Amino acid sequence: MLFPSIFNRNFVDNFFDDFTDNFDDIFSFPSFGRFPMSGMMNTNIKDLGDEYQLEIELPGFDKNDITAHLDKGYLTITATREDEKGKKDRNGRYIRRERYSGSLKRSFYVGENLKEEDFKASFKNGVLTIAFPKDKTETKLEYRKYIPIE
């Protein structure tokens, strides 16, 4: 939680740090002017003729923090960054932390006929690039069915 001063060095502010840190999470809705997830996992999708290419922005993540798996036609990308709350830096204590820590997940429907070996992934300069062939089989589109409300 933000206090009126930039430097909150008195005992009362430090005493309530753990309690007030939770309020930042509660009040991080867009209506309160803070966007903790904005800019995370922005994705460009390219049609390259016989294949698609995803370019997913994951700034600040390491290659080892990212996983991609295929399940029932959905490609799911997960990126996890460990929370460093409570850790003290040898050069001092953080006054405010705005860097994201936690887990992000995003799924894309890619077709049920693709296998893991059909995908090629690379990670460079904070961008995960995944290429995969188009699913050439026709999928039966199910039309929306309405349920009557009494």
Q: Which domains does the chain have, with CATH numbers?
A: 1-36 (no CATH), 37-133 (2.60.40.790)
| Residue 14 confidence (pLDDT) | 53
| Residue 101 confidence (pLDDT) | 77
Kindly provide the residue ranges of all beta strands, DSSP E only, lying in 1-150, ordered along the sequence.
Answer: 43-47, 51-57, 66-71, 74-81, 102-109, 120-124, 127-133
- Write the CB contacts of 78 (distance below 8 Å, at least 6 apart in sequence): 66, 67, 68, 69, 103, 104, 105
| Residue 35 confidence (pLDDT) | 43
> Over the chain (150 residues), what is each successive 10-residue block's mean pLDDT?
47 52 49 49 94 94 94 94 67 75 90 92 96 80 78
CA 42-47-53 angle, to 5 degrees, is 50
Kindly report each contact of residues 49-52 with a partner whose C-beta sits within 8 Å and lies 24 or more positions away, as own/partner: 50/133, 50/134, 51/131, 51/132, 51/133, 51/134, 52/110, 52/131, 52/132, 52/133, 52/134
Question: Minimal CA–CA distance to 60: which of 119, 16, 123?
Answer: 123
| Residue 4 confidence (pLDDT) | 46
HSE, side-chain direction, 13 A CA sphere, residue 136: 4
